[in-house]
Amino acid sequence: MEKLVVRGKRKISGVIKISGSKNATLPILAASILNKNKIEINRVPIVKDVLTMVELLKHIGSNIKLDFKKKRILIHNKNRILKTTAPYNLLKTMRAGVIILGPLLSRFKKAKVSLPGGCAIGSRPVDIHLFVLKKLGAKIKIKNGYIIAKTTKGLIGKKIKLPSVSVGATENAIIAASYAKGTTYLSNCACEPEIKDLTNFLKKMGIKINWIGERKIKISGKQNLKSVNHKVMFDRIESGTFIIAGALIGNKLKISGIEPKILKKEISILKKMGVKIKVNKSDLIIFKSNKIKPAYIKTEPYPGFPTDLQAQIMVLMTKANGVSKIKENIFEKRFMHVPELNRMGAKIKIFGDTSFIYGPQQLNGAEVMATDLRASVSLVLAGLSAGDKTIVNRVYHLDRGYEKLETKLRNCKANIFRKN
């Protein structure tokens, strides 16, 4: 099994070009199911979750081609009737696959999609996804670990308030409503930038979608859609990860190909912690930051601080002069990285959904185990700032969402290599 070997305490400097967003690419690929005309998607990140979604679309019969070199996906389904069953073996590693349920049901009036199952960070229920589809007219039952959904007359637009904020359920709802008859008003939606990227993609296909409030959307469904060419937005979480790497061991580290205004919350928190950041129009530079101050952070839906950066900022907090606190409000088990960080010399205590990080603590290298995508990258960050050598096992977690992580870091003078 592959591992990453990191030798820390090396200052990193240079330029890191951010890849396209995994969490925008996945719903955009799901939405391609609605369209029989040509689709071109650019700046696609070549990461495992995207490859899995491409496999899933191929499995249901989509005419989809991925150009690894150009980071481009071409889809042209013409009048193909796609298979409407998504099997467990493709969903068990990537829960996001459940967002093909809405488009399959909306276009083909039926769908059988495996229940995604839980993961290291939580049980990952899909009740809100099903709630919305039922409101749009779907009949749904759960049998043998599958969601079996159908609608005889096709989905019909409605006024729907989501019971709680959910990124995936909002995406399923938007895509399903885009092909439904009539108009849908969704409220209490998630409004992550990746969802805005999805609605931009759907608008380009000819669907009338308007954000009529921070968490409110009006969608007029349409069945004949136009060819579309779309460039995926930058990866917000990859950007935040590398900004924190710069805060830990950077000295003039430039993060390019981004829209800093989307990272407003993260940048303001890091600046308050004493990180020296110069923000430009489409990039930012992190300078050597010595005196890191403690912080209290609670993870929230966008525009709050993202849960996907919680593990990463915790590593920076080990450097802070004082006690920091993180309240994890989104997932019930998202502190799996804490025991591993403590093995590297961190002093972190967990009380329920809150972690207290006592700093400053000098981390030291150790052999550690990755448990999920963002926990694994926090161990790499810890290795970069620790003395001597860190070995991060189960790197397949990391490969789900980071494109060429070690290459990007090595190009900025980090000592990090992949080993079998």
Under 8 Å between Cβ of 87 and 112: no
C-beta of 341 vs 398, nearer to ligand EPZ: 398
Chosen residue from 6, 136, 167, 232 binding ligand EPZ by CB under 6 A: 167
C-beta of 49 vs 340, nearer to ligand EPZ: 49
Q: In angstroms, rounded to a whole number, what is the distance separating the alpha carbons of residues 23 and 133?
A: 21
Q: In angstroms, rounded to a whole number, what is the distance separating the alpha carbons of residues 61 and 86?
A: 11
Backbone angles phi, psi at 267, to 5 degrees: -65, -40
C-beta of 285 vs 382, nearer to ligand EPZ: 382
Q: Which residue has the tokens 């920091």?
A: 324
310: its two tokens: 């919680």
Chosen residue from 108, 146, 242, 331 binding ligand EPZ by CB under 6 A: 331
Backbone angles phi, psi at 419, to 5 degrees: -130, 150
184: its two tokens: 């849908």
C-beta of 197 vs 308, nearer to ligand EPZ: 308
Is residue 126 close enough to count as binding ligand EPZ by CB under 6 A? Answer: yes
Q: In angstroms, rounded to a whole number, what is the distance separating the alpha carbons of residues 131 and 135?
A: 6
Bridge-based pairing state of the strands 85-86 and 139-143: unpaired
C-beta of 169 vs 219, nearer to ligand EPZ: 169
Q: In angstroms, rounded to a whole number, what is the distance separating the alpha carbons of residues 184 and 136?
A: 9
Q: Which of 149, 70, 160 is nearest to 115 (CA)?
A: 149
Is residue 83 close enough to count as binding ligand EPZ by CB under 6 A? Answer: no
Q: In angstroms, rounded to a whole number, what is the distance separating the alpha carbons of residues 147 and 255?
A: 42
Near ligand EPZ by CB under 6 A, which window of 51-59, 143-151, 160-168, 385-393? 160-168
CB of 372 to ligand EPZ, least distance (A): 7
Under 8 Å between Cβ of 292 and 275: yes
Chosen residue from 169, 341, 381, 392 binding ligand EPZ by CB under 6 A: 169
Chosen residue from 289, 307, 312, 378 binding ligand EPZ by CB under 6 A: 307
* 356 DSSP β-pair partners: 325, 349
CB of 373 to ligand EPZ, least distance (A): 5
Chosen residue from 21, 166, 289, 378 binding ligand EPZ by CB under 6 A: 166
Is residue 124 close enough to count as binding ligand EPZ by CB under 6 A? Answer: yes
**Three-class DSSP category at 225:** coil
Near ligand EPZ by CB under 6 A, which window of 162-170, 181-189, 288-296, 338-346? 162-170
Chosen residue from 2, 67, 127, 388 binding ligand EPZ by CB under 6 A: 127
Is residue 312 close enough to count as binding ligand EPZ by CB under 6 A? Answer: no
**Three-class DSSP category at 116:** coil
Positions 376 through 405 that interact with ligand EPZ (CB under 6 A): 401
Chosen residue from 8, 97, 103, 168 binding ligand EPZ by CB under 6 A: 168
The crossing angle, in degrees rounded to 10, of helices 127-135 and 101-108 is 20
Chosen residue from 48, 236, 337, 374 binding ligand EPZ by CB under 6 A: 374
Chosen residue from 129, 135, 230, 337 binding ligand EPZ by CB under 6 A: 129
Task: Give the type of residue at 180.
Answer: A
Q: Which of 37, 32, 36, 72 is nearest to 227 (CA)?
A: 37
Site string for ligand EPZ, 16-55 (x = CB under 6 A): -------x--x-----------------------------
C-beta of 307 vs 385, nearer to ligand EPZ: 307
Bridge-based pairing state of the strands 283-287 and 250-256: antiparallel
**Three-class DSSP category at 370:** coil
119 as an active site residue: the answer is yes
Residues annotated as part of the active site: 119
Residue ranges that bind ligand EPZ, judged by CB under 6 A: 23, 26, 96, 122, 124-129, 166-169, 190, 307-308, 330-331, 373-374, 401
